[in-house]
Amino acid sequence: WLKDNVAMASQICCTASLDGFEAAKRCQATLEQEILSNRARIEVVKKEGRSLVRAQHPGSAKIEEFLGQLEVLWEELKKRHQKNVVVLQESEKLNLKEMKVLKD
């Protein structure tokens, strides 16, 4: 799920042209809902994983590796989402300016 959404987040800015602007906004809204709906689940997984490592679970090394990857992907997804917010806001401003110029 995270890998797919990080990939989707990477593509949103690429579709933020005049033609794809509305599609990019819809993708961004979907991504935001995915982040919000999975935030608690990610935190539970991280908490449970840390508990297993503290309890010296036989698979602690793999659990730590997984937790590291999870954290990197989760942070990357949130970072790309925030970048997309800024890019889409700027695109919207430019689109409004273009429409105003064309209207005048």
pTM equals 0.72
Ranges of the chain with pLDDT below 50: 16
Amino acid at 64: E
CA dist 49 → 8, 61, 65, 78, 92 (Å): 27, 11, 10, 21, 41
Q: What is the pLDDT of residue 72?
A: 93
Rounded to 5 degrees, what are φ and ψ at 17?
A: -80, 180
What's the pLDDT score for residue 92? Answer: 78
- Tell me, what's the pLDDT at 50? 96
- What was the pLDDT predicted at 61? 95
Show the CA angle centred on residue 76, arms to residues 71 and 79, nearest 5°. Answer: 125
